[in-house]
């Protein structure tokens, strides 16, 4: 037996990256506080700041490709849609400041700024949450929640639900690849893809059912329903003081954003 592999289970979970090694709950606290602050402040400047913060963290944690691909799917349609809708809704309001024309269509500053506020606070919120999920193993999050008092049944249900989606996606890809190997057309327009996908639903559901039975047998063999204490192969490191300080700063940012929003609304009145 490889002793190094065996003794690795005695050590704390490590990824060799400062951000990834943060406790999952600490990362969740930071992400939620910054994301909610973006919604509360509702300014395009703060949304852009969170977007670039997400890029820096994505580069640091080496998930930039997945981060930027996933975010662009949200950002580009959102920016275009909100800009066009705002111009259509409020472009005719008197007193608006003209800024430029697109194919003879006059665009105005006030609805454009308002559309940027809407789009960028959503992008900022999405950026910090996406960074969190790209750098956090769900099993680590569930373990951290169990350490905070969540029952092992609740944590398993949440983890199993998330893992089932991933497993079904992998199963669908495997079935589609096997159909392609048999000469069945799976690439092309939407209709061709739908014709290739719907026949895979049966095998996917059957595979999910058989997987559920296997999990139930494995859980029973490991005394999952036992009321006593449970042991874990993964152990999270204790949270250091400086990590609590970072969490506190994130909470202060959220509180400051709420105060800023209240003061801004009072000033507007």
Q: Residue 9 domain-assigned?
A: no
Are 26 and 132 contained in the same domain?
yes
Domain tally for the chain?
A: 2
Are 202 and 258 contained in the same domain?
no
Are 213 and 185 contained in the same domain?
yes
Are 31 and 123 contained in the same domain?
yes
Are 243 and 131 contained in the same domain?
yes
Q: With bands split at pLDDT 50, 70 and 90, how would you rate the model's confidence at 187?
A: low
Q: Residue 16 domain-assigned?
A: no
Are 112 and 244 contained in the same domain?
yes
Are 161 and 112 contained in the same domain?
no
Per-residue pLDDT of 71-127, as tens digits, reads 888 888 888 888 888 888 877 777 778 887 877 788 888 888 888 888 998 999 999
Q: With bands split at pLDDT 50, 70 and 90, how would you rate the model's confidence at 138?
A: confident
Q: Name the most confidently modeled range: 25-34, 159-168, 210-219, 255-264.
A: 25-34
Q: b/e for 250-259, b at 16 or more Cβ within 10 A?
A: beebbeebee
Q: Which percentage of the chain shows pLDDT scores above 70?
A: 75
Q: Which has the closest alpha carbon to 254: 15, 40, 8, 21?
A: 40
User: Which residues, 6 or more positions from 89, have their beta carbon under 8 angstroms from its beta carbon?
Assistant: 111
Are 131 and 249 contained in the same domain?
yes
Q: Residue 52 domain-assigned?
A: yes
Are 201 and 177 contained in the same domain?
yes
pLDDT of 158 reads 73
What is the pTM assigned to this prediction? 0.77
Per-residue CA distances from 49 to 35, 56, 89, 133 (Å): 11, 11, 28, 19
Task: Give the range of the structural domain holding residue 76, as residue numbers without chain letter.
Answer: 22-136+239-269
CA dist 179 and 172 (Å) reads 11
Q: Residue 1 domain-assigned?
A: no
Are 97 and 177 contained in the same domain?
no
Q: Residue 36 domain-assigned?
A: yes
Q: Residue 174 domain-assigned?
A: yes
Q: With bands split at pLDDT 50, 70 and 90, how would you rate the model's confidence at 170?
A: confident
Are 40 and 129 contained in the same domain?
yes
Are 245 and 185 contained in the same domain?
no
Q: Residue 6 domain-assigned?
A: no
Per-residue pLDDT of 36-63, as tens digits, reads 999 898 888 999 999 999 999 999 999 9
Q: Residue 171 domain-assigned?
A: yes
């Amino acid at each position: 037996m490889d002793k190094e592999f065996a003794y690795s289970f005695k050590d704390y979970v490590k990824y060799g990256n400062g951000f990834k090694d943060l406790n999952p709950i600490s990362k969740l606290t930071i992400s939620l506080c910054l994301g909610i602050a973006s919604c509360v402040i509702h300014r395009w400047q703060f949304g852009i700041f969170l977007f670039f913060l997400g890029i820096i963290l994505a580069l640091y944690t080496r998930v930039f490709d997945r981060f930027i691909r996933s975010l662009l799917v949200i950002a580009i349609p959102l920016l275009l849609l909100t800009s066009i809708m705002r111009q259509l809704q409020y472009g005719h309001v008197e007193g608006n400041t003209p800024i430029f024309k697109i194919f003879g269509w006059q665009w105005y500053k006030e609805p454009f700024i308002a559309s940027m506020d809407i789009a960028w606070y959503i992008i900022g919120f999405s950026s910090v949450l996406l960074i969190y999920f790209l750098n956090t193993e769900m099993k680590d999050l569930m373990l951290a929640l169990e350490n905070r008092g969540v029952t092992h049944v609740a944590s398993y249900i949440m983890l199993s639900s998330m893992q089932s989606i991933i497993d079904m996606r992998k199963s669908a890809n495997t079935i589609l690849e096997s159909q392609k190997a048999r000469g069945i057309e799976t690439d092309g327009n939407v209709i061709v893809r739908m014709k290739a996908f719907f026949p895979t639903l049966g095998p996917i559901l059957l595979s999910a059912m058989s997987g559920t039975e296997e999990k139930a047998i494995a859980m029973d063999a490991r005394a999952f329903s036992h009321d006593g204490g449970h042991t874990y192969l993964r152990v999270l490191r204790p949270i250091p003081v400086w990590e609590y300080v970072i969490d506190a700063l994130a909470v202060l940012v959220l509180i400051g954003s709420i105060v800023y929003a209240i003061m801004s609304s009072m000033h507007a009145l």
